[in-house]
Chains A and B, each alone.
Chain A
Amino acid sequence: MNDKLQARERRAGPIPWQAALPRPGKDTLVAWGMVLPALIGFAIFYAYPLLQAVRTSFTDWNLLSAPGWVGWSNYVELWQDDKFWHALKITAYYVLLNIPLQTALGLFLAAAMDRLLRSVALRAVVLFPYLLSNVLVAMIWLWQLDPTLGWVNHALDAVGLSSHAYFSDPDESLLTIAGVNIWRHMGLVALLFLAGMQSIPRDLYEAAAIDGASEWQMFRRITLPLLRPVMVFVLVTSVTGSLQIFDTVAVATAGGPAESTRVLVYYIYENAFSYYRMGYASALSVVLCLIMVLYTFVQMRLLNANQSDLA
């Protein structure tokens, strides 16, 4: 087959697909052509709504009448709004509860899957909660943790431990929501870490074993430092995701009890769709967006996210 092809090529000169290959000058156009579909989607579904939100944040739009320009007044109000600061505090508290535990458990699971249990079935099980929707997860846990009907309290009673109110107790509600989200996202975090761990050459661990390193020392001195780019990715995505926590709160607690779970996005939702204050809600959204951009920038700069020691 190859001989025939080569013979034909000798007779007829370059075959068409070779002739059709772009000259170096066309590379840029081809590249733009390939990026364009994604770029259009980004412009329509991300950039335009973002710009609209910024514009709306300077108006008093209430969904019913035409928006009127109010300048910086939404931002001034926000600065003086105790509920905003409370929501921000609750959100920050949620992030602090959620991220360290989720990251630590994800790392532990990934290390176990990488070094001890290389089972595809286990990976599937670990990832399974992430495949469920947030609303469904919230419903499942709402029932399981129901103070009177849920099996968790029954189980605690059975072993002589005191039962809890979980979502209904202001002291436990945020912790419970964090727990539910850790349960849902831990598998994904673990798989991301696992992918990072599997890109670390095995012979580094072998060299370390000969050098006398224990499993823990290998993890601390080899795995963790070499996971830095993945760690940055996980932290940036999980922190920004946590800052936007909404579904679980909306389904399980609706911001209560006693505002103990009124996180920032839920407060934005209330302003937009309960009080019809789209302008103020947009201003809150812009501030949240700026917080996330600032966090991402600082995180990536601090951890040199674009440099890998493995490269």
Chain B
Amino acid sequence: MSDVVLRQVRKAYGSIETIHGIDLAVESGEFVVFVGPSGCGKSTLLRMIAGLEDITSGELEIAGVRADTLPPARRQVAMVFQSYALYPHLTVFENMAFGLTLAGESRDVIRDRVSRAAQVLQLSHLLERKPKALSGGQRQRVAIGRAIVRKPAVFLFDEPLSNLDASLRVQMRIEIARLHAEMQATMIYVTHDQVEAMTLADKIVVLNKGGIEQVGSPLDLYHHPRNLFVAGFIGSPKMNFLEGVLQGTSGELATVTLADGTPLQLAIDTGSTAPGTRVTVGVRPEHFVAVASGGLAGRVLVVEHLGDATFAYVDVPGRAQEELLIVRLPANSRTRIGDTLHLDVPVYGGHLFDTDGHALRRLVTEDTDRAAA
């Protein structure tokens, strides 16, 4: 059963429409992540589900009830804000109990629910403190606790970790994943951080300019991006794009010639795309293979050693300076600045996009290719 259903949901400010007819179903217990660049409408969409923004047109259903005209408190949702939004004059206990107090719950029920949530979130020793006496991570846990005690049908998270430092963010991410696994609750999570999206989500919704670009599992989006936008947005470092011309198809292999004349063979169903069509080849940094000679040649301008991998930024002739190719090399690579790298792309490693930016169907993924090998 779907816990949240959006049908042709739109948002307009005057004559300017910012959310363009979203259709989406979030299943019960699912962890759905809205991801997209700044200004794509992901937070607006979340706030529309929460009831903090009006829905201009369309329908919203939460837990089987038509909710687009209900006030926020009656939508059975709880929200965790980017800024935590803790009541600064109240203690941790009072913050977590706020909604229950307003709902007229008895003191025993309030104490019981707050204590349980505090235990789960390791906040029991902080219940008498005020928010300003807490660290960023503790504040975020209180905000989550405030949501938990209300036992909502749907949890909404609006970039909850973006105010935390890198190490705390990882820790909190794991805690949120653990909470979801324990509670099996329906969660909708907004982030612009695709690592959060990839690690937390059962389903990712990629948004761009107020519309959905693609919905799917993290690996589905990674291996089968529907278009250039999703391909470029999902994956870190991002996918490299090279201009080329489709030469033809032989069996399951499409042959493409890159701008510098390098031929590539990729396992892609080109469908009705005619030979001679200009295409864009997408290659993820880890799919390049350094070879002794031949292939795509370029000069290494920057080398980053991350310990578990090395990233080389390669200047390929015919491409703009700012469009360096990013290549993932083994951790022990001895590649240096100024070296010339020769790069090959295995048949499973490439993506192909037509002139409109739509992906042509890949016939294999890295996994299936390895399994077949």
Chain A interface residues toward B at CB < 8 A: 201, 203-204, 206-213, 217, 221-222, 225-226, 309-311
Contacts and interface: CB of A to CB of B under 8 A. Distances in A.
A296 to B, nearest CB: 23
B39 interface: no
A16 B18 CA distance: 51
Contacts of B86: 207
7 contacts: A206-B52, A208-B98, A210-B51, A210-B77, A213-B102, A226-B89, A309-B130
Given A211-B73, A212-B103, A206 B85 contact: yes
A217 B102 contact: yes
Nearest to B71: A209
A219 to B, nearest CB: 13
Contact of B87 (A204, A210, A212, A311): A204
Interface string B116-145: 000000000000001010000000000000
Contact of B99 (A211, A309, A311): A211
A209 B130 CA distance: 21
Nearest to A228: B89
Interface string B128-172: 001010000000000000100010000000000000000000000
A201 B85 contact: yes
Contacts of B51: 209-210
A-B pairs with lowest CB-CB distance, top 3 = A212-B73, A211-B99, A207-B85
A130 to B, nearest CB: 30
Contact of A309 (B77, B89, B102, B146): B89
Contact of B72 (A204, A209, A310, A311): A209
A210 B88 contact: no
B78 A210 contact: yes
Nearest to A212: B73
B315 to A, nearest CB: 24
Interface residues of B, number: 24
Interface in B50-90: 50-52, 71-73, 77-79, 81, 83, 85-89
Contacts of A225: 89
Contact of A209 (B73, B83, B88): B73
Nearest to B80: A207
Contacts of A217: 102
Interface string B100-119: 00110000000000000000
B245 to A, nearest CB: 41
Given A211-B102, A212-B103, A206 B81 contact: yes
B98 A211 contact: yes
Contacts, number: 61
Interface of B: 50-52, 71-73, 77-79, 81, 83, 85-89, 98-99, 102-103, 130, 132, 146, 150
A222 B94 CA distance: 12
* Interface residues of chain A: helix, strand, loop or mixed (majority): helix
Given A206-B52, A309-B130, A212 B102 contact: yes
Contacts of B89: 225-226, 309
Contacts of A210: 50-52, 72-73, 77-79, 99
Given A210-B72, A212-B102, A213-B73, 16 more contacts: A204-B87, A206-B50, A207-B85, A207-B146, A208-B87, A208-B98, A209-B71, A210-B51, A210-B52, A210-B77, A210-B99, A211-B146, A212-B103, A226-B89, A309-B130, A311-B132
A203 B88 contact: no
Contacts of A207: 79, 81, 85-87, 146
Nearest to B88: A309
The CB with the most chain B CB atoms within 10 A, among A204, A211, A309, is that of A211
B175 to A, nearest CB: 20
Contacts of B73: 209-213
A204 B52 contact: no
Contacts of B50: 206, 210
B88 A212 contact: no
A139 B307 CA distance: 83
Contact of A212 (B81, B85, B99): B99
A226 B78 contact: no
Contacts of A204: 85, 87
Nearest to B156: A210
A226 B89 CA distance: 7
Given A210-B77, A211-B99, A211-B102, A310 B88 contact: yes
B81 A203 contact: yes
B52 A209 contact: yes
A232 to B, nearest CB: 15
A209 B87 CA distance: 13
A118 to B, nearest CB: 15
A181 to B, nearest CB: 32
A117 B339 CA distance: 66
B319 to A, nearest CB: 26
B294 to A, nearest CB: 42
A206 B79 CA distance: 9
A212 B150 CA distance: 10
Contacts of B79: 206-207, 210
B74 to A, nearest CB: 8
A179 B102 CA distance: 37
B102 A203 contact: no
B97 to A, nearest CB: 10
A209 B79 CA distance: 10
A155 B3 CA distance: 61
Contacts of B102: 211-213, 217
Nearest to A203: B85
The CB with the most chain B CB atoms within 10 A, among A201, A207, A213, A222, is that of A207
B87 A222 contact: yes
Contacts of A206: 50, 52, 72, 79, 81, 85
A226 B81 contact: no
B54 to A, nearest CB: 13
A207 B144 CA distance: 12
B1 to A, nearest CB: 23
A225 B77 CA distance: 26
Nearest to B77: A210
Nearest to A226: B89
Nearest to A222: B87
A95 B159 CA distance: 50
Contacts of A211: 73, 98-99, 102, 146, 150
